[in-house]
Amino acid sequence: MSCCARFSIKSNHFPYFFHFSLALIIGVVLGTYSSIHVADALSLVLGLKRSDLAPSKKVADE
């Protein structure tokens, strides 16, 4: 257990760290969702197709 976690549990600061970590988790989830949404719209505007984004199959060397 890290030093900060031990200090927060022993010193009754646990609710403050809980709310801070909850805010960080919500921010990461919403940021990821918005990035995917923007990337999806941008790919439609640029006219990209699934075949443009998928890697091509590699031919085995003989």
Q: What pLDDT, on the 0 to 100 scale, is given for residue 5?
A: 59
Q: In this structure, are residues 8 and 16 in contact, taking their beta carbons and an 8 Å threshold?
A: yes
Q: Which of 25, 8, 26 is nearest to 17 (CA)?
A: 8
Q: What pLDDT, on the 0 to 100 scale, is given for residue 7?
A: 59
What global pTM score does this model have?
Answer: 0.51
The two three-digit tokens of residue 59, written as one number: 């031919």
- Over the stretch 13-58, which tens digit does the pLDDT of each residue have? 667 778 888 888 999 999 988 888 888 888 888 888 878 777 777 6
Q: Using the predicted structure, report yes or no on whether residue 62 has a pLDDT greater than 70.
A: no
Q: What pLDDT, on the 0 to 100 scale, is given for residue 26?
A: 92
Angle at the Cα of 27 from the Cα atoms of 23 and 28, rounded to 5 degrees = 120
**Cα separation of 33 and 51, whole Å?**
23
Q: In this structure, are residues 5 and 16 in contact, taking their beta carbons and an 8 Å threshold?
A: no
